[in-house]
């Protein structure tokens, strides 16, 4: 079976058809408020006063989010052409995105006679890009063109027993079809990192996986903390999880059973199809944007039963250009958040469906959503702020 996507000049397929305004800020936000079909970054991070490693991370993120298949065109805007670090120059970002063959424009306040001129010209250029992008038609695409990112949260016993396993089934199917599947959460492989390392395609990848867990342990120790006194969080204990190791063993089920091809840095694009671990913070506001920059057309959040408010979550994607599917295996969560949850695998726990049947149902929902069906929280006109996973101090 296939799905329907927007074919891009580099051969990739988009599940959505956005014009992206980068970087974020006042001008970008105002352009998006004026021009339908545009999106931008809800973050104050610019890379200024950051160490070189973090500046490279910001630059990689900005370029790669523009390369995401869900993006039809990119407007790069800023104060001036030469007013930033070399790594963060507007021209560098634009040139990298332009390598995909999609339309890219660069505008500066210097060129446009100031900020108000930049805003007016930006609206004009964005409108033209959106108008041209709207002429694109969806075409059949193989599952090999799909890329997905996944995290779990509010974890309880249902997460490890069923919810993450259903996603793992989907990931196995996707990898077998030569698509890309990504998982992460550095703190939540601790205690299970050796299990993942055994699935690495090489000793070098195995060591990278072990190093991620070791790094997180050491960061806690450097400030006098044992990470196990912070994670699991109280809501996880209330949901039946007793230790970090137990939580990690349940969390890694979302990775399925295929070999792990590599460990990606924040916002790095995978070099080939397959299953990848992303070196990243466990929080979704860091994680989902990283997946989008890595090329994911869609992100998923497997939700347990912890702290789910009556009436739903109303929490849209921080994936910027990648819509979010909310999943759960907890029937109570599904009932409390029926207007937010897109998929429920509770029937597996109730004995009316097999894990494989639930996995096939989720796989079909992913194809349907990739073909244009909206997720529940995608219907909300709101953008949550996000943060980039930067590791060095601000100077």
User: What average pLDDT does range 102-116 have in this prediction?
Assistant: 96
Which residues lie closer than 8 Å to 304 by C-beta, 6 or more apart?
152, 153, 154, 155, 156, 157, 158, 159, 163, 236, 239, 328, 329, 330, 333
Residue 1 has pLDDT above 80, yes or no: no
Q: Are 181 and 318 contained in the same domain?
A: yes
**Which tens digits make up the pLDDT trace of 283-300?**
768 889 999 999 999 999
Q: How far is the first Cα of the chain from the last one, in angstroms, to the nearest whole number? A: 52
Whether 340 is in a domain gets the answer: yes
Tokens of 193: 């990192």
Whether 84 is in a domain gets the answer: yes
Q: Are 129 and 236 contained in the same domain?
A: no
Whether 276 is in a domain gets the answer: yes
Residue 110 has pLDDT above 60, yes or no: yes
User: What average pLDDT does range 199-211 have in this prediction?
Assistant: 97
Q: Are 179 and 125 contained in the same domain?
A: no
Residue 216 has pLDDT above 60, yes or no: yes
Q: How confident is the model at residue 135 (pLDDT cuts 50, 70, 90)?
A: very high
Q: Are 126 and 153 contained in the same domain?
A: no
Secondary structure (3-state) at 225? coil
Contacts by residues 361-365 (CB-CB < 8 Å, ≥ 24 positions apart): 362/166, 362/167, 362/169, 362/170, 362/327, 363/170, 363/173, 363/174, 365/325
pTM: 0.94
Higher-pLDDT residue of 233, 320: 320
User: What average pLDDT does range 105-119 have in this prediction?
Assistant: 95
Q: What is the pLDDT of residue 245?
A: 80
Q: Are 374 and 256 contained in the same domain?
A: yes
Q: What is the pLDDT of residue 310?
A: 66
Whether 264 is in a domain gets the answer: yes
Whether 149 is in a domain gets the answer: yes
Q: Are 29 and 156 contained in the same domain?
A: no
**Which tens digits make up the pLDDT trace of 37-50?**
999 999 888 888 89
Q: What is the pLDDT of residue 125?
A: 98
Q: Are 173 and 59 contained in the same domain?
A: no
Whether 13 is in a domain gets the answer: no
User: Residue 302: which of 364, 232, 250 has the closest Cα?
Assistant: 250
Looking at the DSSP bridge assignments, the partners of residue 75 are 21, 105
Tokens of 9: 């000049």
Q: Are 249 and 348 contained in the same domain?
A: yes
Whether 180 is in a domain gets the answer: yes
The domain in which residue 181 lies consists of 143-379
**Which tens digits make up the pLDDT trace of 157-203?**
899 999 999 999 999 999 999 999 999 989 889 889 999 999 999 99
Q: What is the pLDDT of residue 63?
A: 97
Whether 55 is in a domain gets the answer: yes
């Amino acid at each position: 079976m296939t799905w329907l996507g927007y074919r891009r000049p580099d051969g990739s397929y988009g599940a959505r058809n956005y014009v992206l305004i980068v970087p974020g800020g006042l001008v970008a936000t105002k352009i998006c408020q004026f021009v339908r079909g545009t999106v931008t970054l809800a973050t104050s991070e610019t890379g200024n006063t950051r160490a070189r490693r973090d500046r490279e991370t910001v630059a990689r993120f900005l370029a790669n989010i523009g390369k995401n298949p869900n993006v039809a065109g990119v407007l790069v805007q800023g104060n001036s052409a030469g007013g930033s670090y070399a790594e963060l120059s507007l021209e560098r970002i634009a040139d990298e995105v332009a390598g995909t063959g999609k339309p890219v424009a660069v505008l500066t306040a210097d060129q446009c006679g100031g900020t108000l001129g930049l805003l007016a010209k930006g609206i004009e250029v964005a409108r033209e890009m959106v108008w041209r992008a709207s002429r694109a038609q969806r075409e059949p695409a193989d599952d090999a063109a799909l890329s997905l990112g996944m995290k779990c949260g509010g974890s309880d016993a249902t997460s490890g027993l069923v919810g993450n396993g259903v996603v793992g089934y989907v990931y196995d199917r996707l990898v077998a079809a030569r698509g890309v599947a990504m998982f992460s959460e550095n703190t939540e492989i601790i205690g299970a990192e050796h299990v993942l390392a055994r699935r690495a395609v090489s000793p070098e990848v195995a060591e990278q996986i072990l190093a991620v867990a070791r790094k997180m342990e050491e960061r806690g120790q450097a400030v006098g903390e044992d990470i196990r006194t912070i994670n699991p969080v109280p809501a996880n204990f209330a949901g039946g999880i007793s230790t970090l190791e137990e939580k990690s063993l349940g969390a890694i089920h979302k990775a399925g059973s295929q070999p792990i091809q590599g460990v990606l840095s924040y916002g790095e694009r995978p070099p080939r199809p397959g299953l990848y671990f992303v070196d990243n913070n466990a929080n979704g506001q860091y994680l989902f944007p990283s997946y989008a920059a890595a090329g994911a057309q869609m992100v998923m959040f497997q939700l347990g039963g912890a702290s789910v408010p009556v009436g739903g979550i109303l929490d849209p994607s921080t994936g910027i250009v990648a819509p979010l599917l909310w999943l759960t295996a907890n029937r109570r969560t599904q009932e409390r958040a029926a207007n937010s949850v897109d998929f429920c695998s509770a029937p597996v726990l109730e004995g009316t469906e097999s894990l494989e049947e639930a996995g096939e149902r989720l796989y079909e929902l992913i194809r349907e959503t990739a073909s244009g069906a909206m997720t529940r929280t995608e219907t909300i006109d709101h953008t949550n702020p996000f943060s980039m996973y930067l590791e060095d101090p601000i100077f």
